């Protein structure tokens, strides 16, 4: 028997060829945009698109904090309790990226996630989200990240020490503890007043049901939390694995106290801003692409300096974790605000730096 090649291509090949031809035609018609750009308008959460989310609810928490419920796109891979997510929003025509802790339980039946945002003075993104964001707004998303997570299974005894918006990652952990969890949880939380306690109603209900022991410190009347007196409040403190999130001063005091007591290994901290250990000498920062220059005093990050000068600065977590702020250092010297380490560059060295955790250590040029 003699076999002969088919006179026509297989159906799958013909279909693929036709699809490719149709896409080329669509690209010609839609130029300078691409067909995908129109699909993004019709279905921004579609599979295969850049990860986005749509705000489906905005729930007030305090006078200056809200919870945003977000329906993520089909590429969302989920999160662990305590992790954060980077979101990108367009504020007055400029895309800004920030990181916020996830406060929702994992595996919600509706597939949504939530972040809780507290407006801070001069905070471009936080004030936009709290005051101006609307249901239906589509925002950019990154996958969840971060290592400030509760052990699985949770330790028998847990202490959470939080202040202000530092309660947000902890609430993500609490909402994921089983209702019948045997974990003994104590929360020591600081806020200016009872009305300023984010999730105050929910926390107090958990305490009423004896799911947690809640210690509220209202700093307007009680003063700041004295870390040295914590053991008076939590008498079995050395037995408790501790998670802490809040202002740098609080975390520094806790780390020092726990280290002195030999408890450093059971203390976990989450910092929303890098700790400044050693400052640079400061200097003139030239942003070569933008054609502008600004003074940096050695204590301010290059990211903040650039933004204050009106330079479009890439950014993300703003605390040295996500590398969303990386930029080329053409020449000059910068100092790491966390460690004091000095980085220098000459023309052609190909050095890149994280602008959110670096300050000028003399004149420097950045290719932005």
> What angle, 0 to 180 degrees and rounded to 10, lies between the N-to-C axes of helices 11-30 and 35-42?
90
In the chain, what are the domains? 52-141 (2.40.30.10), 157-270 (3.40.50.80), 283-366 (3.10.20.30)
CA angle 97, 101, 104 (to 5 degrees): 125
* Number of neighbours of residue 175 by Cβ within 10 angstroms: 18
Q: What is the pLDDT averaged over residues 166-180?
A: 94
Yes or no: say if 19 and 34 are a contact pair by the CB < 8 Å rule: no
pLDDT on residue 92: 83
d(CA 58, CA 141): 17
Give the closest residue to 142 by CA, choosing from 80, 95, 97, 82.
Answer: 97
Higher-scoring residue by pLDDT: 351, 224:
224
Alpha-carbon distances, residue 273 vs 63, 89, 140, 300, 323 (angstroms): 23, 20, 22, 12, 14
Q: What is the pTM of this model?
A: 0.72
Q: Report phi then psi at 65, rounded to 5.
A: -145, 140
Average of per-residue pLDDT values in the chain: 87
Yes or no: say if 366 and 351 are a contact pair by the CB < 8 Å rule: no
Yes or no: say if 148 and 245 are a contact pair by the CB < 8 Å rule: yes
pLDDT in tens, 204-263: 999 999 999 999 999 999 999 999 999 999 999 999 999 999 998 999 999 999 999 999
pLDDT on residue 322: 84
pLDDT on residue 49: 62
Dihedral angle over CA of 253, 254, 259, 261, nearest 10: 110
Q: What is the pLDDT averaged over residues 341-356?
A: 84
Alpha-carbon distances, residue 254 vs 30, 35, 144, 278 (angstroms): 58, 54, 27, 20
Q: What is the pLDDT averaged over residues 26-39?
A: 52
């Amino acid at each position: 028997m003699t076999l002969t090649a088919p006179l026509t291509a297989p159906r799958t090949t013909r279909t693929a060829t036709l699809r490719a031809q149709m896409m080329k035609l669509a690209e010609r018609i839609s130029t300078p945009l691409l067909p995908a750009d129109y699909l993004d308008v019709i279905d921004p959460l579609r599979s295969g698109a850049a990860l986005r989310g749509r705000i489906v609810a905005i729930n007030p928490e305090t006078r200056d904090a809200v919870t945003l419920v977000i329906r993520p796109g089909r590429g969302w891979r989920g999160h662990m309790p305590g992790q954060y997510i980077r979101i990108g929003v367009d504020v007055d025509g400029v895309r800004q990226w920030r990181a916020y802790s996830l406060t929702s339980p994992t595996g919600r039946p509706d597939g949504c996630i939530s972040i809780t945002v507290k407006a801070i003075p001069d905070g471009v993104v936080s004030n936009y989200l709290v005051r101006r964001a609307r249901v239906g707004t589509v925002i950019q998303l990154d996958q969840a990240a971060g290592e400030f997570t509760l052990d699985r299974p949770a330790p028998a005894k847990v202490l959470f020490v939080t202040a202000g918006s530092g309660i947000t990652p902890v609430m993500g952990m609490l909402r994921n503890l089983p209702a019948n969890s045997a974990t003994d949880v104590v929360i020591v939380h600081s806020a200016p007043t009872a009305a300023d306690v984010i999730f105050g109603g929910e926390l107090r209900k958990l305490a009423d049901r004896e799911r947690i022991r809640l210690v509220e410190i209202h700093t307007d009347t009680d003063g700041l939390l004295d870390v040295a007196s914590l053991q008076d409040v939590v008498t079995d403190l050395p037995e408790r694995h501790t998670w802490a999130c809040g202002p740098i001063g609080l975390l520094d005091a806790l780390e020092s106290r726990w280290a002195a007591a030999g408890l450093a290994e059971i203390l976990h901290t989450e910092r929303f801003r890098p700790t400044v250990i050693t400052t640079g000498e400061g200097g003139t920062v030239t942003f070569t692409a933008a054609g502008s220059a600004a003074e940096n005093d050695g204590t301010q990050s290059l990211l903040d300096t650039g933004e204050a000068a009106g330079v479009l600065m890439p950014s993300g977590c703003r605390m040295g974790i996500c590398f969303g702020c990386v930029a080329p250092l053409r020449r000059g010297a910068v100092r790491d605000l966390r460690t004091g380490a000095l980085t220098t560059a000459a023309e052609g060295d190909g050095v890149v730096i994280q602008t959110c955790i670096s300050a000028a250590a003399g004149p420097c040029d950045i290719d932005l």
